[in-house]
Amino acid sequence: MMFRASVLTLYPDMFPGPLGTSLAGRALGEAWSLDTVFIRDFATGRHRTADDTPAGGGPGMVMKADVLARAIDAASPEGDPRPRLLMSPRGEPLTQAYVRELSAGPGAVILCGRFEGVDERIIAARNLKEVSIGDYVLSGGEMAALVLLDAVVRLLPGVMGHDQSGTEESFETGLLEYPHYTRPQVFEGMEIPAVLVSGDHARIARWRRAEAERITRERRPDLWDRLSGKKA
C-alpha cells in the first residue's frame, strides 16, 4: 500500500521541495505519492480571494471556510480513509509515536494555514486534527507540513537502508539517542570510547543505554520525568 499525501496550500510551488531529494525523493512514486491542491482554485470571483478580515476586528486576514471546504472535499471525498490534518501552532505536539502511526496508515490530507489562521468552523465541519511541530510561529503551514512528511516518509517500508534505523533513534524508546562515532580512531586528540571497539556487544548495549539516559536527564528532564513515572 502506497502512502498518499495531499497538501492543500496557497503556495504549491513549495512542494515537494526538500522532499524531492535524498531518501524521500528516491522513494517518491514508489513508497509514497504527493499531490498538491492550490486552494485559490476553489475561490470564486475575479480575484479568487481565499481570505477575509476577521470577524470582530483585529489585524491580519483569515482563510475562508467555504473556500477551504471546497478544496478539502476535492482532495478528500467521502470515504477517504486518510486523516485530515491542519498544521497549526496551537495543535497537539507532533510526536514520534504519532509519526509512526501515520506511517502505518494510508496517508494524510494536510491543510497549510496562512495569515492569522483558518475560520474555526472548517475545523469542526471537516474534522481537522490540529498538529504543531513546536512552540513557535511560522509564516504558514507549508514548512510544518514538510517536516511532518519527512518524518513519516523515512519510516515507510524500504525507504531507509536498515530496518533498525528507524527504531534505534531519539524518542522511539522515550530517550534521546546515544552518541555515535566512526573512523578515524583519534580525532584532534579525542578517541572513540574503548567500549565501542571492544567487540563485547553486551557491554556496548549497556553503555549506549547509560549514555542515552544521561543525555536525556541532562537535556530533556521532561522526557526523563515522564519515563521515570512510567517505571514507578
By three-state DSSP, how is residue 5 classified?
strand
Q: 0.95 cut: is pTM over it?
A: no
CB under 8 Å to 43, separation ≥6 — which residues?
49, 50, 64, 67
Nearest-CA neighbor of 11 among 46, 43, 39? Answer: 39
**In the prediction, which pLDDT does 173 show?**
81
Return the higher-pLDDT residue of 206 and 1: 206
Instruction: Give residue-wise pLDDT tens across range 138-164.
Output: 999 999 999 999 999 999 999 997 554
**In the prediction, which pLDDT does 180 show?**
96
Instruction: Give residue-wise pLDDT tens across range 114-123.
Output: 999 999 999 9
Amino acid at 167: T
How many other CB atoms are there within 10 angstroms of residue 210's CB atom? 11
**In the prediction, which pLDDT does 172 show?**
78
**In the prediction, which pLDDT does 112 show?**
98
Average pLDDT, the chain: 94
Compute the distance between CA of residue 59 and CA of residue 116 in angstroms, rounded to an integer.
8
Compute the distance between CA of residue 197 and CA of residue 205 in angstroms, rounded to an integer.
12
Architecture of domain 168-231: Orthogonal Bundle (1.10)
**In the prediction, which pLDDT does 168 show?**
61
Compute the distance between CA of residue 206 and CA of residue 193 in angstroms, rounded to an integer.
13
**In the prediction, which pLDDT does 6 show?**
98
Q: Which of 44-48, 50-54, 88-92, 226-230 has the lowest mean pLDDT?
A: 226-230
Instruction: Give residue-wise pLDDT tens across range 191-205.
Output: 999 999 999 999 999
| All CATH 3.40.1280.10 domain ranges in the chain, comma separated | 3-153
| All CATH 1.10.1270.20 domain ranges in the chain, comma separated | 168-231
Reply yes or no on domain 3-153 having CATH 3.40.50.1980. no
pLDDT over 80 (residue 108): yes
Compute the distance between CA of residue 145 and CA of residue 151 in angstroms, rounded to an integer.
10
Model confidence band, residue 34 (pLDDT cutoffs 50, 70, 90): very high
The whole-number average pLDDT for the span 180-190 is 97
